[in-house]
Amino acid sequence: MKIKSPNALPVVALVLLGLLIFFVGLAASYTFIDEVYFADPVINFLTGHSYATTAWNVTGQFETHVSSAPAYSLLLLLWLKIFGITQTAVRSLPAVLALGSAVVFWRACLRSGLIKSGGAGAIVICVVLLDYGYAFAYTCGRPDPLSALLMSAMFYFFSLQNKRAAFGAIGVIALLLPFVQWGCVIYLFLLSVALLFISPKKFLPYVVVAGAGAGAGLLIQKAAYVHFGIWDTWMNTVKSEGSGNLASRIENRMTWDALLHHHSNTIPKDFSVLVILAGLACIYLWSRLRQRQHEARPARSAWIIAVVVSAGMFLVGKFPTYYGWMLCFPLAAVLGIYFDQALVENRMNAKIAVVIAVLACSVGLPLQIGLAAHDWKDHNPAAITAWLGPKISTNDVVYCDYPFYFIAKERAGQVFAGRYFNLLTPKDFNRITLVIFGKNGSDWNPSTHPLTNATVVGNWTSSRSDILGNDWKYGFLSAPNYDCTVYRLKEPMKP
């Protein structure tokens, strides 16, 4: 059977998904804690202040901040300098990086010969971009798409016939990974282990080069951070994610308490990945029953990657839902491989691959948008901005919870946000003139700093609750919306 052009369908899919993401996806999620964390020091720097933050609890407002993803923070700084300081601009950078990662990954699959048809390419792009966890990351201003882009680039260079060029490019990218995300370094190690299980002879030279590059990157990062006097700050940032001792971390993770009660940042709830894994398990069993080993092999590889990466990230790192791309990318490639095999041998099996892809995509970004549509006004920041904005003056010193950060930051003289409450000094508290208190969860502690003498100047109550409620413990889909009470503590001093 002659396979048609491999470019047309993937390009159409990319354009349509790009329109969906930029016109709907970026407005579907309420302001997430991490987009404030990454944006605040960058905005402070661009507005003439130091690279410091008043939205996190590791460094104070007069200390140099150390981002957990420094390469992304630098890129965000350049991006906002060009496109302006808005929440839309903050969210658009990871969306652009996500689209780029999908393109590079698709071309890598094509160049390496894993996929051949346009249909397989469209499956890869759609599954990657609509994946539940990846959509969570790029619509909420997180740096994960930069990590995914660099890992996809490593895969692309792996496909080069010139081994020297391939080794050089892979080594350089691996060297940069510690400056991109430490989680990505852990992922590279675990993915390498999985690939060695699958085909040691084929992957060993590339694994050695990548490992050497990442190791050199870690040494360079430490030397640079020590030289600039920020190594201790960086270690405090790492420890804020959990125990700094690897043995203690693993010991803690191997308890029922970690599995049952402290799993929000260690066990991903990526519905798209679960659908694909279930589908590939069925394909594997059916292929083995029919003794068609070549059909079972890709599904077996997918499960090896899933088990090694999941177990490893849980034990030695963290594996939140927004890291779902770490599994989704290789699973999307496997699904594309199976589709191309079936397209030549058995069209019914090709339809099964399409059904798995459609189901995986539908429980990703479309599910997030669909549920947000139920109470769209209270997810989309436009309405709350129009209501809250006039209550904030340029002379105000504001404390707010994370959902209201961008509204306050654009208007107030200074903003303290979220977890920075724990670092506020008595002098800071005395300067605060306005408090925006989230009704569905707040970092302000009323027992230590009651608001009894404050004047209520506004109450925003959602017209409709989320379908799944407004409690973080039930996951991203039940994240609190913009319900808030605004307290005036005192009138701001005139300049």
Q: Are residues 362 and 392 in the same domain?
A: no
Q: Provide the 3-class DSSP secondary structure of residue 414.
A: strand
Asked whether residue 334 falls in the same domain as residue 295, the answer is: yes
Q: What pTM did the predictor assign?
A: 0.94
Of 32, 137, 138, the residue nearest 93 (C-alpha):
138
Q: Tell me, yes or no, whether 404 and 346 share the same domain.
A: no
Q: Which residues pair with 437 in a beta bridge?
A: 485
**pLDDT bucket at 48, cuts 50 / 70 / 90:** very high
Whole-number percent of the chain with pLDDT over 90: 71
pLDDT at residue 25, rounded to an integer? 94
Q: Are residues 364 and 382 in the same domain?
A: no
CA distance 100 to 110: 15
In a domain, 450, yes or no: yes
Query: Taking residues 58-82, what's their average pLDDT?
Result: 95
For the chain, the straight-line distance linking the first and the last C-alpha, in angstroms and rounded, comes to 76
Q: What is the pLDDT of residue 145?
A: 98
The H or E element containing residue 485 is strand 484-488
Does any domain span residue 44?
Answer: no
Instruction: Give a yes or no: residue 493 inside a domain.
Output: no
Enclosing domain of residue 472: 376-488
- How would you label 320-358 residue by residue, b for 16+ Cβ within 10 Å and e otherwise? bbbbbbbbbbbbbbbbbbbbbbbbeeeeebbebbbebbe
Q: Is there a single domain that holds both residue 427 and residue 331? A: no
47 falls within a domain: no
**Which pair of tokens denotes residue 268?**
């991903």
Same domain membership, residue 453 and residue 367: no
Same-domain status, 387 and 351: no
Please choose, from the candidates 373, 398, 447, 420, the residue with its C-alpha nearest in 3D space to the C-alpha of residue 33: 420
In a domain, 120, yes or no: yes
**57 lies in a domain?**
no
Query: Of the ranges 242-256, 328-342, 371-385, which one carries the lowest mean pLDDT score?
Result: 242-256
Return the structure tokens found at 196: 């060695």
Token reading at 203: 């992957």
Mean pLDDT, residues 324-341: 95
- Residues 472/443, Cβ–Cβ less than 8 Å: no
Q: Among 349, 372, 395, which residue terminates a domain? A: 372
Give 400-412 pLDDT, tens digit per residue: 999 999 999 999 9
Give CA–CA dist 343/476, Å, rounded.
37
- Is the same domain home to 389 and 306? no
C-beta of residue 145 within 8 angstroms of C-beta of residue 94: yes
Last residue of a domain, one of 328, 357, 372: 372
Q: How far apart are CA 342 and CA 348, in angstroms?
A: 8
Instruction: Work out whether strand 434-438 and strand 397-400 pair parallel, antiparallel, or are unpaired.
Output: parallel
Q: How confident is the model at residue 64 (pLDDT cuts 50, 70, 90)?
A: very high
Residues 298, 285, single domain; the answer is yes
Say whether pLDDT at 4 is over 60.
Answer: no
Q: Which of 347, 372, 397 is the last residue of a domain?
A: 372
- Supply φ then ψ for residue 460, to 5 degrees: -110, 115
Confidence tier at 3 by pLDDT (50, 70, 90): very low
- Calculate mean pLDDT across residues 220-244: 86
- Overall domain count for the chain: 2
Q: What is the mean pLDDT of the chain?
A: 91
Quick one: 247 and 383 in the same domain?
Answer: no
The stretch 405-426 carries a mean pLDDT of 95
List phi, psi (to 5°) of 306: -60, -45
What confidence category does residue 473 fall into, taking pLDDT thresholds of 50, 70 and 90? Answer: low
Residues 404 and 299 in one domain: no
pLDDT at residue 2, as a whole number: 47
**What is the pLDDT averaged over residues 27-39?**
91
pLDDT per residue as tens digits for the range 215-229: 999 999 999 999 999
The Cα 147–Cα 161 span in angstroms is 24
- Split at pLDDT 50, 70, 90, the class of 495 is low
Which DSSP symbol is given to 494?
P
d(CA 198, CA 192): 10
- pLDDT for res 261: 65
pLDDT tens per residue across span 157-195 = 999 989 999 999 999 999 999 999 999 999 999 999 999
H and E: helices and strands count for the chain: 21, 5
